[in-house]
Chain A
């Protein structure tokens, strides 16, 4: 374990977890002095009946100020402004976000507009532009992956200007996050698999990247343990209540870790692949995670090796020679992808050449890899990766991840 000379850690989100955690919301809202929340969600979540479960849990003591289910898959500035109008028109006093990353981000954007009485959301973009508490925000994740229920970041897309606005502030942390097993119970196996691997990538990258610290480490280790133990199980058996709750908690732990320790090359290349080819983030994370570990192995072998204990347990850890523990971690993650691929009938991709859209068309043609490698040079996650990476390094990793071959570590440029 590394003890840095200096580090910062913050997670002031109240987390309520359980099979009936939603029922606690009225009391929590009352504690915050709120009575009339606006529910922000998307059409998929609403159609799955998840908003109905939340509404039923809110029956006593809460007047619902409105239900907005028009959040697009990518958050959108126009929608943020429209929902802020709805919040004001209906005299709401809190926001409940029910959904995945886009819903959380949109809710955070709405919260900035209504709390700051802003007309231009852009004025609050970047780090540190917010300097006071916002309206109460309750986050209810419906996937076990993004961790955005405990992160201080929001990304809002301005589709007209083709810009992504990034907002970072401790004031964007939700006041309360509700982890309820009912919220992920209907998630299809394919989505369960990729969002779970997204959570694992947060936990693992949070453990080996440069901003790691003992507090983020503790969250990463617990997250790795839960996710490795339960992901395949719930993908195989979606109605497993215990497993669903464990995954929700694992993803939350991973979210706390990476929002303090940040992430590296896996997210760096994953963001670029998503931007260039539209591949879902969780798939990018699943494919790239073993390669990110291999790329950083010469700098982080001992640290990566420490992940074997929470992943495989004491027996395997002790039986594996010290020098081979880190490689064993990589092979276990590859094995997870393999298992998930089998469980989902091949839908969970193990490498980029396998990623297909709904029409069966390959989403990452080999000839776009140079474009992805170039785009990754401009993604902030590169800063936190232990090893530096240039265009050639990015391409080396992407080509291996496309073919599904282990990374040829002899080709990595070392300083």
Chain B
């Protein structure tokens, strides 16, 4: 019997892979720069690891805690035990979400983003992702990605955070 595979979408897959690679590094950076992100990670257990990616064959982003530090572990799901997977239904949906045409919350309500693991952990991770997106993206785009853009943050806080997150992300520190 001949197996039929879904058609590849190389450009969309490449976009999603680059986005996840950059965001993974940005989360690692934000955990050092932003107090709220650090606080969220502090509530998660030691060695906690989560993955965000697309079915059926990725790409994935694996981020976790190692000896008290937050690290981006690349895109291999087998690199270490994973406690929580935020799973996007397919690459089309991943592109929709990660190109900010649909917020995380809306994607969840439309059953495009699913949680495999404990809900309280997933909520912490979503809060972390929201903060990181606010640092990485201009207000106009970030407002599409998060449920509520934190316009009440002082300008200096946002600017310093943005510089810190971008510098560390690009340097991978």
Q: Decide: B123 and A377 in contact? CB cutoff 8 A.
A: yes
The yes or no answer to B110 lying at the interface (CB within 8 A) is yes
Task: Tell whether A336 is near chain B: CB-to-CB under 8 Å.
Answer: no
Is A383 interfacial (CB 8 A cutoff)?
yes
Which residues of A187-229 have CB atoms within 8 Å of chain B's CB atoms?
A: 210-211
Report the separation of the CA atoms of residues A387 and B151 in the bound assembly, to the nearest whole angstrom: 14
Q: Which residue of B lies closest to A380 (CB)?
A: B119
Chain B residues engaging chain A, CB cutoff 8 angstroms: 105-106, 108-112, 114-116, 119-120, 122-124, 126-127, 143, 146-152
Q: Is there an interface contact between B110 and A7, defined as CB atoms closer than 8 Å? A: yes
- Please indicate the chain A residues that have their CB under 8 angstroms from the CB of B148 in the complex: 387-388, 413-415
Report which of B109, B114, B149 forms a contact with A262, defined as CB distance below 8 A: B109
Whether the Cβ atoms of A383 and B108 lie closer than 8 Å is: yes
Quote the shortest CB–CB distance from A72 to chain B (angstroms): 24
A350-390 CB contact bits vs B (8 Å, 1 = yes)? 00000000000000000000000000011110111001100
Question: A415 with B123: in contact, given A7-B110, A210-B109, A262-B109 (CB under 8 Å)?
Answer: no
Q: Chain A residues near B149: list those with CB within 8 A.
A: 415
The interface residues of chain B lying within 8 Å CB-to-CB of A377 are: 123, 127
B123 is contacted by which of A262, A383, A414 (Cβ under 8 Å)? A383
Which listed residue (A379, A384, A414) contacts B109, Cβ 8 A? A384
Q: Which residues of A contact B146 (CB under 8 A)?
A: 388, 415
Closest 7 CB pairs of A and B: A378-B120, A415-B148, A388-B148, A211-B109, A415-B149, A388-B147, A380-B119
Does A5 sit at the interface, judged by CB under 8 A?
yes
Interface pairs (12), CB distance under 8 Å: A6-B111, A6-B112, A211-B109, A378-B123, A379-B123, A380-B119, A383-B108, A383-B126, A387-B147, A413-B152, A415-B143, A415-B150
In Å, the complex CA distance between A388 and B146 comes to 9
With the chains together, A415 CA to B123 CA distance in Å?
Answer: 19
Which B residues are CB-close (under 8 A) to A378?
A: 119-120, 123-124
* Interface status of A126 (Cβ within 8 A of chain B): yes
Total cross-chain contacts (CB, 8 A): 56
Contact between A210 and B105, CB atoms less than 8 A apart:
yes
Cβ 8 A contact of B105, one of A126, A379, A383: A383
Cβ-defined contact, B110 with A6, below 8 A: yes
Q: How far is the CA of A384 from the CA of B126 in the complex (A)?
A: 13
Q: Give the secondary structure class of A's interface.
A: loop
Q: Which residues A223-267 have CB closer than 8 A to chain B?
A: 262
User: How many angstroms between the C-alpha atoms of A385 and B142 in the bound complex?
Assistant: 19
- A380 contacts which of B106, B114, B123 (Cβ < 8 Å)? B123
In the assembled complex, the Cα of A388 lies from the Cα of B103 at a distance in Å of: 12
Q: Which residue of A lies closest to B112 (CB)?
A: A6
Residues of B within 8 A of A126 (CB): 116
A127 close to chain B: CB less than 8 A = yes
CA distance A210 to B148 in the complex (A): 14
Residues of B within 8 A of A31 (CB): none
Closest partner residue, chain B, to A384 (CB atom):
B109
Residues A8 and B114 in contact, CB atoms below 8 Å apart:
no
- Cβ–Cβ < 8 Å partners of B122 in chain A: 380
Please measure, in the bound complex, the distance between the C-alpha atom of A28 and the C-alpha atom of B114, giving whole angstroms. Answer: 36
Q: Are A4 and B110 in contact (CB under 8 A)?
A: yes
Residues of B within 8 A of A413 (CB): 148, 150, 152
| B150, closest chain A residue (CB) | A415
Mask of A302-321 contacts with B, CB within 8 angstroms, 1/0: 00000000000000000000
Give the chain A neighbours of B126 by CB distance below 8 A: 383
Closest to B104 in A: A383
Contact partners of B116 in chain A: CB under 8 A:
126
Known: A4-B110, A7-B110, A378-B120. 18 other contacts (CB 8 A): A4-B109, A127-B115, A210-B106, A210-B109, A377-B123, A378-B124, A380-B119, A380-B123, A383-B105, A383-B126, A384-B105, A384-B108, A387-B148, A388-B146, A414-B148, A415-B143, A415-B149, A415-B150
Minimum distance in angstroms from B157 CB to a CB of chain A: 15
Smallest distance from the beta carbon of B125 to chain A beta carbons, Å? 12
The proximity string for A residues 1-32 relative to B, scoring 1 for CB distances below 8 Å and 0 otherwise, is: 00011111000000000000000000000000
The distance from the CB of B154 to the nearest CB of chain A, in whole angstroms, is 14
Decide: B114 and A127 in contact? CB cutoff 8 A. Answer: yes
B49 → chain A closest CB, angstroms: 18
Contact B110 A415 (CB under 8 A): no
Q: How far is the CA of A380 from the CA of B118 in the complex (A)?
A: 10
CB-CB under 8 A from B152, the residues of chain A are: 413
A150 to B68, CA, bound (A): 45
Nearest-neighbour CB distance to chain A for B79, whole angstroms, equals 23
With a cutoff of 8 Å between Cβ atoms, the chain B residues found around residue A210 in the complex are 105-106, 109
